[in-house]
Amino acid sequence: MGERTRIGLAVLGAGLVLGGLGDVLLRATPWGINLPLWVGTLAVSAVSLSRLGGGRPVGEGRWMLPLAVLFAGGVALRDSPVVVALDVSMVVLALALVALRGRSGALRRAGVSEYVIGTVYAGAMTLAGMVPAAVRDVKWREVAPGDWQGRALAVARGTLIAIPLLLVFGALLVAADAVFEDLVLGLFEVDSRLLGHFFLTLFVAWVSAGLLTFGLLGRETGNFGLRRPDVLSLGIVEVGVVLGLLNVLFLAFVAVQAGYLFGGAGRVAATAGLTYAEYARRGFFELVAVTALVIPVLLLADWLLRVEAPAHRRVFRALSGATVALLAVIVGSALHRMYLSTSRSSASPSRASARRSLWPGSPSPCCGSR
């Protein structure tokens, strides 16, 4: 049995296993820990199948695989619809980049157009599902030698020809006799829940097999980047001004955050008029949106930059690196505030009960002292 046939069969088997596991884990919502479990199983399957083929992935896209598992774990931490949608979007994007640049190629030097077009291309190839592996990659004569393929194709052709005839004549006979109608409807009566399990398993297996086939057996893809028109290019001065002003804005925000972080809930209530939990929750979601917007802005700036000297590239890297560093501080402060708010809300009932247990004879707050 050839290597490509062996990998193709393994891909089909892994797709079916992932489909069944997806029906078990992904049917109930909210997903919680189920999504990272399924994505982790997909990651383990991809690594195992790549080793089965004897080829070691050397593309930069392979580092997106643990990132996909990490973002899937975010669904278990927060069940907000906005956070879940962002996490799932990042999981899909990371898996597409793994399939696109896992075996070879670079991501650090990719532009905006290559990310967008490459992701769309990976998604289109994934929708092919099990067809490429079953038709192109697996040589069925190697699996079961003999002349059974000709007979199987003849049976398939005859079945396809007979289906429309059976539908037409069956509809006429069902309309002609009520007893025959009850018999036919009874034969095709299927539990709706069973159909739901079947279609969800088939969908997850189809997508999983398509993703694994494209990532492991697909043709090596070239550069998807679009050539930047000269009229859209920007010099280092324009790009530097944009990134510099963004850095000033982020730095000012970080300075303000330092005061709130060290000032605690009292300063938040006195300045913003919010409780600490409301302040942290609001900042968390807005900073997630800021993070999601900054990265495309940096990629677009890199695509538009007209490099006229080596120093221009160094200046751009310094400014963009400062932007990413400030953004990391902002996200860290949001996570810290969220942690403090949740720990404060969970600890307050225990403190109240402890005070009541220490002073059993103290008057109730609702009644007052007499």
b/e burial code for range 8-27 (CB count within 10 A of at least 16 → b): bbbbbebbbebbebbbebbe
Cα(47)–Cα(55) distance, integer angstroms: 10
Joined together, the tokens standing for residue 360 give 């059993």
Q: What is the CA radius of gyration of the chain?
A: 29
**pLDDT at res. 370:** 39
Cα(78)–Cα(32) distance, integer angstroms: 8
**pLDDT at res. 124:** 87
Burial of 300 from C-beta contacts in 10 A (0-12 / 13-18 / 19+):
middle
What parts of the chain have a pLDDT lower than 50? Answer: 348-370
**pLDDT at res. 350:** 45
**Domain extents for the chain?**
1-226, 230-346
Instruction: Give 173-222 pLDDT, tens digit per residue.
Output: 888 888 888 887 777 766 667 878 888 999 999 999 999 988 888 776 66
**pLDDT at res. 78:** 76
Instruction: Give 140-172 pLDDT, tens digit per residue.
Output: 777 767 666 667 767 877 887 888 888 888 888
Cα(19)–Cα(211) distance, integer angstroms: 13
> Whole-model pTM?
0.65
